[in-house]
Amino acid sequence: MEDDAPVIYGLEFQARALTAQTAETDAIRFLVGTQSLKFDNQIHIIDFDDENNIINKNVLLHQAGEIWHIGTSPADKCVLTTCYNKTSDCKVTGCAAVWRMPAEWESGSHESPDDSSNSPQTLELLCHLDNTAHGNMACVLWEPMGDGKRLLSLADNHVLLWDLQESSSKAVISSSATLEGKGQLKFTSGKWSPHHNCTQLATANDTAIRGWDLRSMSQIYCIDNAHGQLVRDLDFNPNKQYYLASCGDDCKVKFWDVRNIGEPVKTLEEHSHWVWSVRYNHSHDQLLLTGSSDSRVILSNMVSISSEPFGHMVDEDELSDVEDNGQEEKCKEPLQDSIIATYEEHEDSVYAVEWSSADPWLFASLSYDGRLVINRVPRALKYRILL
């Protein structure tokens, strides 16, 4: 059980941006971007040593401004993007840029961890995503499983598709789309679908979820009033191409089949405040992680709408039977969707949760006060899923 205990890491600054290092499949590594208006902002690279239960951290300076969103290249583990606020002359603008980590950050930190805090290295700017014509950047998305050359960015009411050229030193808008409508429309978040050859995008603005076809840059579906209030985050089921999870200010997590958008497939209402982040596990899509401003992280087991065949998991006491007649079990006992665990290590609102890209049983959550918590899926459940 000791092994299941959470590992906590405290940042000095407040933080909202968290991501796993997508291209890294060996080490368990998370990136956290801080938010501070007074000091230089940092990107903390957090390595988790699973065997020894130890955290190693490295800090890179991000002097451009406070970080609101962070994304890592799926192809090059040293390349990342950030969305940040630049404040100058009493004006706050949301910008985005592609960065490269300095090559020697890893070795430097290992040699003298004490020094690294005194003289952190700085990120190397590859290029700005020029947004002067399009407004504040809300987030930048990498093409899932792509070659690290294509980016999407959401800026106010624009969707911009970028091509990175000349070894990422130049970003060119290849196409764009604009959301038209009454009032000031603003994208709050988006997700690039890993399915359909990466030609689809889902975005959230206010209470609506929209789907876009990137080839024609046109809207393909729109779930109006998907949530009673603002939609905060989206995620695609990694295995079921039409399934989508969303969360929002009505404290709910909803699952959608985009072929039938009239009603959600399922609704969870476990949090007692806004849900800011929802993430499918990359390999076992019944595992769902949500983070909320009620300071809780909830891990749910949504087996009924997962790609896992029904009856694959049965109660532990029937484990032996399952192997013999799994097919029959499926009919006999439909599996219950349930909450696996509620994690209450945070003291402040949790704005981001993320699964590790290397270990599918491990995830991190970040709360506003700068606390990063790394947790594992309970071992019993892990074995039930695996066996």
Partner 1 sequence: MDADISDSAAGSVSPPDSDPARKRRAHGMLKLYYGLNEEGKPDEKESLDPCDINGPHFDPEVFLNKLRKECSLAELMDQESCMVKQIRALDSDMQTLVYENYNKFISATDTIRKMKNDFKKMEDEMDCLSTNMSAITEFSACISGTLQDQHTQITKLSGVHSLLRKLQFLFELPARLNKCLELQAYAQAVGSHRRARCVLQQYSHMPSFRGIQDDCHAIMDQLAQQLRQKFRDGGSSAKDLSDCVELLLQLDEPAEELCDKFLSHAQSRLEADLLGLEAELREPLSASVPELFVNRPQEGDLASKNIPQMANGKLHSFVDALAARYFALVERRIQEEKGVGDNSLLVRALDRFHRRLQAVSKLLPGSGVPSQGTEIVVRAARERIRQYLAALQSFYLDSLTDVRQALAAPRLSVGGAGVSGAGGLGAAVKDAAPSLPDLLASLSGSILNQIKSVLASVHLFTAKDITFSNKPYFKGEFCSEGVREGLVVSFIKFVCQSSRQFCESAGDRGGTTPPALLLLLSRLCLDYETSTISYILTLTDEQFLVQHHSPVTAVTALCSEAREAAQKLLNHYVKVQGLIISQMLRKSVETRDWVNTIEPRNVRAVMKRVVEDTTSIDVQVGFLYEEGVRKAHSSDSSKRTFSVYSSSRQQARYAPSYTPSAPMDTNLLSNIHKLFSERIDIFSPVEFNKVSVLTGIIKISLKTFLECVRLRTFGRYGLQQIQVDCHYLQMYLWRFVSDENLVHFLLDEIVGSAAHRCLDPAPMEQSVIEVICERG
- What does the binding site for partner 1 look like in residue numbers (CB under 8 A)? 10-14, 36-39, 42, 59, 85, 87, 90-92, 117, 225, 227-229, 250-252, 272-274, 293-295, 344, 347-349, 368-370
Computed over its alpha carbons, how large is the radius of gyration of the chain? 21
Nearest-approach distance from CB 9 to partner 1, in angstroms: 9
Between 11 and 302, name the residue whose CB sits nearer to partner 1.
11
Between 37 and 133, name the residue whose CB sits nearer to partner 1.
37
Nearest-approach distance from CB 362 to partner 1, in angstroms: 23
In this structure, the number of other CB atoms found within 10 A of the CB of residue 237 comes to: 25
Between 23 and 59, name the residue whose CB sits nearer to partner 1.
59
Nearest-approach distance from CB 269 to partner 1, in angstroms: 9
Nearest-approach distance from CB 117 to partner 1, in angstroms: 4
Q: Residue 373: which of 97, 2, 6 has the closest Cα?
A: 6
Between 250 and 285, name the residue whose CB sits nearer to partner 1.
250
Question: Distance (Å, rounded) from C-alpha 225 to C-alpha 249?
Answer: 12
Between 127 and 154, name the residue whose CB sits nearer to partner 1.
154
Question: Distance (Å, rounded) from C-alpha 278 to C-alpha 58?
Answer: 27
Between 39 and 383, name the residue whose CB sits nearer to partner 1.
39
Nearest-approach distance from CB 68 to partner 1, in angstroms: 9
Nearest-approach distance from CB 358 to partner 1, in angstroms: 25
3-state secondary structure 226-267: CCCCCEEEEEECCCCCCEEEEEECCCCEEEEECCECCCCCEE
Angle, CA 259 vertex, CA 255 and CA 265 arms, to 5°? 25
Please report, for residues 118, 154, 227, 268, 289, the alpha-carbon distance to residue 278 in angstroms, rounded to integers and kept in the order given: 36, 18, 14, 12, 6
